[in-house]
Amino acid sequence: MSATPALPPHPAYGPPHPYAAPPPTAPGPYGTPEVLGTSAPPKAPPPEPAPREPLRPLAAALLNLTGLGLGYVLIRAWLPAALCWAATAALLLVALPADVDGVPGGALLGYLAVLVLAAADAARRALRAPIGWRLRAPLAAALGVVLLAVPASGALAYDAAKDEAVEDMLLDRLGKADRIVEDQGGRPFAATENDYRTALDIYRDLLDDHAGSRAADRVPGRLDAYYKSVAAPYTEKQYCEAVEPLKYLRTLPATVGKERLGRLAGWPDSRLADSLYACGMTSLGKTDGGADLRELLDTFPGSAAADKVVPGIRAAIDDRTAELTGADPCTATGELRAIRATTVSLPAGAGDPLGTKAADAVESGAYACGLDEFEDGRYSEAAKTLDGFADTYRGSGKRERARTIAIAAEVAAARPQAGGKLPAQRGPGSGQDFVVKNDGPGAVEILFTGPATGSVKLGACAGCTTYSTRAEGKSKACKASGRSYPQKTLRLPPGEYHFLYKRDTGAIGSGGLVSNHSDGAKVQGGYRYTDCAYVVSGGLGDFAPRS
């Protein structure tokens, strides 16, 4: 019996030895066995399945959430990856460059939906598809977590860029307001007020709606320039022009806020008080002048400017009083009247100490004005002024003199040769008899001036009528027998006289118009004169002296 050769022992590890056919054996007792054929090699064992990686879907989802399509790249799904890249590129086209409006909400929501769907799809695909790169699932998941910082940092950077765009926009808006303020230089406030209000609205909106922005932080400094621009007339000593803009500035604490304005809230007060005083003194003496002084005392009663009002008005009265002896006392008198009206209108009796002083100055001015008008040949104005003086100041020592000059002025207005010089202060009372009679309907007043000046009134003549012609009047006036004519006898010193006859038209008849008549005569010693006033169709009758 032959022995089978022994095979070397199979190593514990390593590949199996190649198969070798056994050597032929010697025939046994029963002969050589029949060889039926060559034996087939044994089959290779089936491959072991890939190990399960539960983090693989998570890694693919996280990598797709980065917006870079890396989840699809991980499993080599190139077409979906390209779609993710296209979606991200479209978002960047819409979002960049960053502006104040940011990314449209619809675009952002659509992109987020794409990312979520892509993450879910990549996770689903990764359940069946192995990772195509030499990455283990845990490492890929960790990489996905790290790469999520890319969109997060991109979002933060975009927000920062958007904020910067907003800041730039706000600074542009601030610059617009600054230019509006700068452009108003040299223009009157009435023409610039709306523009100033527009600039202020911009400043206020920056403070209200964008507090903390660089533009809002610069507004306080801009308000300094704003106040100085509005108050430019005050700086240029144009005090009357400065009143309205300074009043406007005083309204800003109510609209902008006193806390925001700080020291500017009270900045216009002293300047407005000074402007009201300066402008009020400029208008003092004009019709309705002094209104600014009244406002000053009402608004800033304790100010230094208010303390100067009474001394300033007193000085103004003294100045105008000195002008009464100058070339134009009438103008000075008109200003004194206006100043007196101002003193009466001052609040809380502030003008009481000036009342007597102003009244005395006006009285002196009225008389001086009447004399000046007479000397300048403005006889009608002089008569009116001096008559007014005599009626107003009945206790004045100049009343009678004013009345005499007023009579002479009225006569001179109709007969200029009567106004060559101021009349003497002498009335009728000595000299030649001068009888005046009235032969006409209605009363008559006879004014005369010459060596003596005065007037006499004669009542209406009962039954007297008008004459058709002057010749008829001369031949018949004051000659009717049995008729009593109203008359008076004057004693006039000799000299040249001028007469004015003023007929009362009330008794002439309906619609009757009678013109005043003037005439002149020379009174000589040794004669008796008779003057008969009558009415003809053309006016009063002539002066008819009789010796």
pLDDT band, residue 143 (cuts 50/70/90)? low
Q: Rounded CA gap, 61 and 66, in Å?
A: 9
> Would strands 432-439 and 487-492 be described as parallel, antiparallel, or unpaired?
antiparallel
Q: What is the DSSP letter of 235?
A: H
- Cα angle 9, 12, 17 (rounded to 5 degrees) comes to 55
- pLDDT value of residue 192: 93
Q: Which residues, 6+ apart, have CB-to-CB distance to 111 below 8 Å?
A: 67, 87, 88, 90, 91
Distances (CA, A) of 411 to 60, 209, 349, 417, 519: 124, 81, 45, 9, 10
Q: Rounded CA gap, 377 and 370, in Å?
A: 11
pLDDT tens, position by position, 58-71 = 766 666 677 666 66
> Which is more confidently placed, 430 or 314?
314
Inter-axis angle of helices 149-182 and 137-147, nearest 10: 10
- pLDDT value of residue 87: 73
CB atoms within 10 A of CB 547: 9
pLDDT tens, position by position, 166-220 = 777 888 889 999 999 999 988 899 999 999 999 999 999 998 888 888 888 899 9
Tell me, yes or no, if the pTM score tops 0.75.
no
> Would strands 539-540 and 495-503 be described as parallel, antiparallel, or unpaired?
unpaired
- Cα angle 543, 545, 547 (rounded to 5 degrees) comes to 180
Among candidates 16, 125, 116, 5, which has minimal Cα distance to 62? Answer: 116
Q: What is the DSSP letter of 31?
A: B
Q: In this structure, are residues 305 and 277 in contact, taking their beta carbons and an 8 Å threshold?
A: yes
pLDDT band, residue 154 (cuts 50/70/90)? low
Coil, strand, or helix at residue 446?
strand
Q: DSSP of 159-191, one letter per residue?
A: HHHHHHHHHHHHHHHHHHHHHHHHTTTTS-HHH
Q: In this structure, are residues 430 and 481 in contact, taking their beta carbons and an 8 Å threshold?
A: no
pLDDT tens, position by position, 271-310 = 999 999 999 999 999 988 889 999 999 999 999 999 999 9
Q: In this structure, are residues 268 and 228 in contact, taking their beta carbons and an 8 Å threshold?
A: no
pLDDT tens, position by position, 24-74 = 544 544 444 444 444 555 665 554 444 555 666 776 666 667 766 666 766
Among candidates 85, 90, 116, which has minimal Cα distance to 104? Answer: 90
Among candidates 241, 240, 296, which has minimal Cα distance to 273? Answer: 296
Distances (CA, A) of 544 to 52, 256, 436, 437: 155, 87, 10, 11
Q: Where are the beta strands (DSSP E) in 348-486?
A: 432-439, 444-449, 454-458
CA 465 to chain centre: 71
- pLDDT value of residue 119: 67
Distances (CA, A) of 129 to 116, 284, 520: 20, 102, 143
Burial (0-12, 13-18, 19+ Cβ within 10 Å), 44: exposed
pLDDT band, residue 149 (cuts 50/70/90)? low
Please identify which residue in the block is written with the tokens 């000593």: 237
